[in-house]
Structure 1
């Protein structure tokens, strides 16, 4: 992707900014809140509310659809930050006005919308081609009675992006297959490689990894349960997966293996460009951001290796509003935008990895490589990772908020707090925000 998806900025830090920025994404729906379809130059207008770089406005897909459907005009508004976008979306739901015909849904918000706003969305369970999606993808936006609120766009299978030159300086292998073997099957091995890197690196002021929170995310999202159980009860305190991820991430922070840089926050982009760290855990959608921010000077220095274990971090959906006066036209549009051919196209153009199992097997994806990342076979690497993702993922109402809070807690350790102090603060914040 050309710009970071910015899936979740820190909730604690972003609330004020989001409130101030509501006007940026407020807009009015295609109906102008009158219940009547809007027209422009004799064409039916379909409005879209998107966030980050979902790929539709950044490529020629919307123009192609309008060319093939000359009676349609598509107006897409994009909020750069998902937190700002979601705060505005909640405001529109509460007010009963301002909604677009089509709204993007981030995976971390899916459960909350399923539980609290399902009646606002059109049912997509009978949509043509819905069987092409990975089964767990559509389950994430399905109600208990089978209503489907959105069609899947991308997913976030994980890998490890690393700097070959910095590995070489530390006497470590640089071939992606050999690098993957160093930590195969166990994230603890990934940390052990970090210890070896720190001991042997000849590069001054270069850390092994960017942040402990990236490791934490990769570990917890390799399991079907993270913060909630199937009944919606918070289980993060007793979930051994969360405890193991916290402990290993704590080790990385305490041992000085991280550059103390939060992903997508100030300092991280310059770190990519300046070689401040040698590795980052990277979902597929992150590659375009790295290549843009690390810049042309670092082309061929980065590579991609298989992660120790499969996991999914991120992913989005497109939903249609039940009260949209152009509901049927909007359904046709998102069905086309999320079809296998368009998902494969977005992978080729931006690196967004398909949620369509049909698209994953298409040559454009399966044989895809990245010139920037040393011609790494990213289609194969992320495709294999996608098949390792648990077939069921239990989501909760405040998944995004809790993930942000854990990220902030891990940063506390990187700033010097003890693991016990950081956990206590994190636990208190989660109880306040999600309890």
Structure 2
């Protein structure tokens, strides 16, 4: 997820027409009593990227339905910037928002090491929402003694997003089913990339980045950086090394545009300029691509399944309430409402963040996206979600992932040998994690 710092809202985004009729009827809730003498309360919300609430107008609607409640919202562009800043504020006990976003790669750290810094939602008005999710979502946010520290927002089932015009110019299939038939494995995906590079339009690479490719591959695995006992296995798990080597080889072969996701301005521009033809896209990236490619990109992009129809999960998030919040009751009402099935389905229809509640998943199964050539995104991402393994999450997943991505960037951008980059990644993890 990503998005730029956003001040207090002044406008409301139009609701997605595919679900607006039924969702508006179900979207009532809240009703805060406030914490000031005049019965008003100002709730602060700090997120990273595009959760969809601002884009769909949910904050404005909640205020309208809950007189006396105002919401001040800020979003940070990148999660890698957001999280360290939040850690500093949590440690000091000041400067935190009433509601803070938690990326799925951080949730194990929260439940393992930070339980005292967050509110147990079982003791708040959000308690009734805890059991509404796919089987793994809330257990991942639950401590060993049962405290629930976050309500799930979305999950990250995956597909392959691609530029139909660029593939057509290179003589490759442009229809989703025909393209999927040529990509039964990740090796097939790379081989197709070699075909593309041989006939690609000038200045266009097959994929955006080796790091993004790596994350897509490992996101189809159950065991990644930790095993079921909680032991670190990033350096011994053959799936991690194989994914790293596959992504590094793609970078060495010139199949990537050598762009760092969410950091390099050229990556944002590439969605419109055509500097890359394909990208492994979790559902939440659907809205991001639309925003960067704009109206001119409508009809140029499409979506197909991961190689072989594999399932996987990359990303997703939670909403938590820091223990330092002075508005716990009202914040809990807000996050329960924002993550309710009706709101989750509405956000998916607007920006592509795939629901994490079972009821919302049922609502969006038939969704299509006109911007993406009427791609059956509900079907594609529902199937990926169903086929995805239940991943083992660890407290340093985010740190390790970042180290791997940076090492791969050194291969594709600076010509570092893959074996040397792997060694550097392990050293970086050791320095940061131990």
TM-score band, normalised by shorter chain: 0.7 to 0.9
Which residues in structure 2 correspond to 1:118-267 (within 5 Å)? Answer: 118-125=115-122, 127-184=127-184, 186-199=185-198, 201-264=199-262, 265-267=264-266
Within the alignment, does 1:312 sit opposite 2:309 as a pair? no
Give the Cα–Cα distance (whole angstroms) in 2 for the partners of residues 360 and 90 of structure 1: 32
Determine the structure 1 residue equivalent to 2:28. Answer: none
- Gaps spanning 5+ residues in structure 1: where? 7-20, 25-36
CA contact (8 A) 1:304 1:378 kept: yes
CA contact (8 A) 1:101 1:326 kept: yes
Report deviation, 1:316: 0.8
CA contact (8 A) 2:96 2:324 kept: no
CA RMSD of aligned residues (A): 2.1
Give the Cα–Cα distance (whole angstroms) in 1 for the partners of residues 76 and 35 of structure 2: 22
Deviations 1:216-241 (A, max 9, x none): 10111111221122343221111011
Report deviation, 1:129: 3.1
Larger deviation, residues 323-332 vs 353-362: 323-332
Report deviation, 1:98: 2.4
Give the Cα–Cα distance (whole angstroms) in 2 for the partners of residues 348 and 40 of structure 1: 39
CA contact (8 A) 2:109 2:395 kept: yes
Report deviation, 1:423: 0.9
Report deviation, 1:125: 4.4
Tell me the secondary structure at the aligned position of residue 137 of structure 1: coil
Say if 1:166 and 1:147 are closer, same or farther in 2 by CA, change over 3 A: same
Give the Cα–Cα distance (whole angstroms) in 1 for the partners of residues 406 and 94 of structure 2: 34
Determine the structure 1 residue equivalent to 2:396. Answer: 398
Within the alignment, does 1:281 sit opposite 2:280 as a pair? yes
Tell me the secondary structure at the aligned position of residue 128 of structure 2: coil
Aligned residues: 401
Give the Cα–Cα distance (whole angstroms) in 1 for the partners of residues 120 and 39 of structure 2: 29
Report deviation, 1:317: 0.6
CA contact (8 A) 1:5 1:285 kept: no
Report deviation, 1:183: 1.1
Determine the structure 2 residue equivalent to 1:328. Answer: 329
Which residues in structure 2 correspond to 1:24-43 (within 5 Å)? Answer: 38-39=35-36, 42-43=39-40
Say if 1:168 and 1:327 are closer, same or farther in 2 by CA, change over 3 A: same
Within the alignment, does 1:112 sit opposite 2:109 as a pair? yes
Within the alignment, does 1:385 sit opposite 2:378 as a pair? no
Larger deviation, residues 74-83 vs 251-260: 74-83
Deviations 1:16-53 (A, max 9, x none): xxxxx9xx9xxxxxxxxxxxx75386412322222222
Give the Cα–Cα distance (whole angstroms) in 2 for the partners of residues 259 and 101 of structure 1: 40
Determine the structure 2 residue equivalent to 1:347. Answer: 348
CA contact (8 A) 1:39 1:45 kept: no
Give the Cα–Cα distance (whole angstroms) in 1 for the partners of residues 56 and 298 of structure 2: 23
Which residues in structure 2 correspond to 1:77-92 (within 5 Å)? Answer: 77-92=74-89
Report deviation, 1:277: 1.5
Report deviation, 1:214: 1.4
Larger deviation, residues 400-409 vs 320-329: 320-329
Report deviation, 1:144: 1.4
Report deviation, 1:384: 1.0
Determine the structure 1 residue equivalent to 2:27. Answer: none
Say if 1:99 and 1:311 are closer, same or farther in 2 by CA, change over 3 A: same
Tell me the secondary structure at the aligned position of residue 370 of structure 2: coil
Report deviation, 1:323: 4.8
Determine the structure 1 residue equivalent to 2:56. Answer: 59
CA contact (8 A) 2:3 2:76 kept: no
Give the Cα–Cα distance (whole angstroms) in 2 for the partners of residues 249 and 255 of structure 1: 10
CA contact (8 A) 1:40 1:73 kept: no
TM-score of the two chains, using structure 1 as the length reference: 0.87
Give the Cα–Cα distance (whole angstroms) in 2 for the partners of residues 125 and 240 of structure 1: 39
Give the Cα–Cα distance (whole angstroms) in 1 for the partners of residues 257 and 376 of structure 2: 28
Tell me the secondary structure at the aligned position of residue 141 of structure 2: coil
Determine the structure 1 residue equivalent to 2:44. Answer: 47
Report deviation, 1:120: 2.3
Say if 1:40 and 1:315 are closer, same or farther in 2 by CA, change over 3 A: farther
Report deviation, 1:99: 2.5
- Gaps spanning 5+ residues in structure 2: where? 8-33
TM-score of the two chains, using structure 2 as the length reference: 0.87
List structure 1 runs of 4+ shifted beyond 4 angstroms.
Answer: none
Report deviation, 1:215: 1.4
Tell me the secondary structure at the aligned position of residue 156 of structure 2: strand
